Structure 1
Amino acid sequence: MGLLIIRLIIFLNGQASETTNHHIALTMLNHYYDIHNLSIGEMAKLCDVSKSTISKFARTLGFDDYLDLKDNASFIENRFNNPLNYISNIITSMEKEGYDQYFDAILKDVSYFKENIDISTIDRIAKAIHKYKKVVALGTIFSESAAQDFQLKLAYSGKFITTFQNDLTQDEFLRNATEEALIIVFTNSGNYLTKQQIRTGTPKKNSFSQTKAKVIVLSSNPEVLNFPFVSEAVIFPHQTNYQTHAIMFQIITDMIIARYRYLRNIACDC
């Protein structure tokens, strides 16, 4: 999924429908596959605004100008030829093989996790969440959805944490985070920790290696345990080629919250 389409969707979700910027974002999404061919004047006419308004909107999204926005507009499904891409790995497999193998993969991953989970790791993460006043959950695309879900689940238990959908806001937070912050990272592959996954060419990311915050990771990749900036990790190795992390994130966060509630209740009784 391209950088522009992600930023447009995130931006659109946070705007009132009657604003000019909402109209521009919605128009761009509705004509997404034409953007790379449209001049700034043509885009302005399409949106019924001035060229300067389009330029300002591009900068609002975090691009240098409209040309930079256009450069990030091409959407090529699985552009990096990643066999674990959502469409290739799950949807195309369902279309070819039906649903049974996907259900079997979920059951295998859940069963393996149930048999091999280190409960003490869940305990330590719950204690860290209880201890730290500033807790931030982070991920990108589908993993960011898990971070938002975790935020809402914890709110039900009286713990209010933060998450950021915008990639620029995430990077800014990581650069400025202090030792007083706890970061819970959702990343199936682990690549989110070291790569700018949604940017063209997936350039190297060094914001995690430079952050001063405590970093805890939920991932299927055991290699994240070798990163010096990772303090703790819950690992859920996939037992098939299906990437079932959307399900596994739900299970793991439920376990963490259950343990957090126990610790919170003990503290309240003291």
Structure 2
Amino acid sequence: MFIVAYRLINLRNNSRRDSTDSYIAETLLANINEIDKLPIDSVAELCNISKSKLSKFVKKIGFNDYKEFRDLVKNEKYRSGYYGYEDKLPMGRYIAKEGWEPYLKILHQDLDCFTEKTDQNMIRRLAKALYEHEEVATFGSVYSQTAAVDFMYRMAEEGKYIRTYTYDLEQEEYMRNMDEDTLVIIFSNSGQYLYGDGMRKIGYFKSYLKRTKGEIALITSNEDAAMDPIVKYPILYSFSTNVHSQMLMERLVMEMIISEYKKLL
């Protein structure tokens, strides 16, 4: 899932069911595999709206114009997995192909790998930074954003109130303007959140992060991303095979951070 579907789904989920925005988003999602072949007037007709109304809609969800919207639909249609990370197999695809029993054996190996290779000292460092910073945010894209939301609520249980935003544009705006007293904890199994990962065009780099004044923590399985100079707190985990159970591993890391944070209280 990439930027077009991501934004349409978020808008649909944050709009009244009977609203025009919800109807347009649902229509575009239902026809997502055909949009790259259709001109703006055809898509506007599908949505029962004018071309100008469709142009305003795509700008509302963060695209410059209909052409950029359609180009990204076409670009995303032919991509799968993470850009530049296609050799990794999501757990769901493996289970669908091989079944549960082989997957559970891999998961057992992954847990051993996780225990052996995860740096506990870095977990403690990040927990200390979390404790010391008053302004903290946590972000991710798509599945990793659900980990960020869970982390926000788990920290609230400990009396620490941190921020998160579902929309990628709001995340970007926050990071562009954060100051030196801000800590941002990013969940990104592929590590591509720092660079693109489908949330922007291929080749797009979040160059503004190079100039950020805030501190960045990255929870990832991508060693190169973890070692990027902009990452002050790299939390690196690994897998025993090319099957990735990141939704489970991210939550293990989350609970480890919270456990260390509670000790500081």
Question: 1:225–1:44: structure 2 CA closer, same or farther, 3 Å change rule?
Answer: closer
Whether 1:229 and 2:244 are equivalent positions in the alignment is no
Question: 1:90–1:112: structure 2 CA closer, same or farther, 3 Å change rule?
Answer: closer
SS in structure 1 at match of 2:145: helix
Match of 2:97 in 1: 96
Question: 1:37–1:235: structure 2 CA closer, same or farther, 3 Å change rule?
Answer: same
- What is the aligned-residue identity percentage? 32
Shift of 1:195: 3.3
Equivalences for residues 1-270 of structure 1 within 5 A:
1-74=1-74, 75-78=77-80, 80=83, 82-84=85-87, 88-195=89-196, 197-264=198-265
TM-score (norm 1): 0.87
SS in structure 2 at match of 1:138: strand
Question: Quick one: distance in 1 between partners of 2:63 and 2:116?
Answer: 47
Question: 1:84–1:12: structure 2 CA closer, same or farther, 3 Å change rule?
Answer: farther
Question: Quick one: distance in 2 between partners of 1:261 and 1:136?
Answer: 18
6-15 or 90-99: bigger deviation: 90-99
Amino acid at match of 1:76: Y
SS in structure 2 at match of 1:230: coil
TM-score (norm 2): 0.89
Question: Quick one: distance in 2 between partners of 1:40 and 1:70?
Answer: 9
Given that 1:109 and 1:236 are in contact with CA atoms closer than 8 Å, whether structure 2 keeps it comes out as no
Question: Quick one: distance in 1 between partners of 2:93 and 2:184?
Answer: 34
Shift of 1:248: 0.7
Amino acid at match of 1:238: F
Question: Quick one: distance in 1 between partners of 2:100 and 2:73?
Answer: 33
Amino acid at match of 1:83: E
Aligned pair count reads 262
Shift of 1:82: 4.2
177-186 or 204-213: bigger deviation: 204-213
Shift of 1:58: 0.8
Question: 1:67–1:177: structure 2 CA closer, same or farther, 3 Å change rule?
Answer: same
Shift of 1:3: 2.1
Question: Quick one: distance in 2 between partners of 1:9 and 1:49?
Answer: 19
> Per-residue CA shift, 1:135-162, capped at 9, x if unaligned?
1112222222211221122122222211
Shift of 1:263: 2.2
Given that 2:191 and 2:226 are in contact with CA atoms closer than 8 Å, whether structure 1 keeps it comes out as no
Amino acid at match of 1:171: E
Shift of 1:130: 1.7
Structure 1 residue runs without a partner (length 5+):
265-270
Amino acid at match of 2:15: Q
Structure 2 residue runs without a partner (length 5+):
none
Shift of 1:251: 0.7
Amino acid at match of 1:152: Y
Shift of 1:83: 3.0
Shift of 1:178: 0.7
Question: Quick one: distance in 2 between partners of 1:66 and 1:162?
Answer: 32
SS in structure 2 at match of 1:78: coil
Given that 1:218 and 1:233 are in contact with CA atoms closer than 8 Å, whether structure 2 keeps it comes out as yes
